[in-house]
Amino acid sequence: MQRCSSAPVARRPTVPTSTKPRTKSATVARLLSRKKGATLHEIAKATQWKPHSCRAFLTAMRKKERVLREERPDGTTSYRIGRESAPEPTSE
b/e per residue, 46-67, with b = 16+ CB within 10 A? Answer: ebebeeeebeebbeebeeeeeb
pTM, two decimal places: 0.64
Torsion sign across C-alpha atoms 66, 67, 69, 70:
positive
Confidence of residue 88 (pLDDT cuts 50, 70, 90): very low
**48: Cα within 13 Å, side-chain hemisphere:** 2
Bridge partners (DSSP) listed for residue 70: 78
Across the chain, mean pLDDT equals 81
Q: How many CB atoms lie within 10 A of CB 38?
A: 23
| Average pLDDT of the residues in 26-48 | 93
| Average pLDDT of the residues in 26-33 | 92
| Residue type present at position 40 | L
Q: How many CB atoms lie within 10 A of CB 82?
A: 14
| Average pLDDT of the residues in 58-80 | 89
Q: Does residue 85 have a pLDDT over 60?
A: no
pLDDT at 46: 95
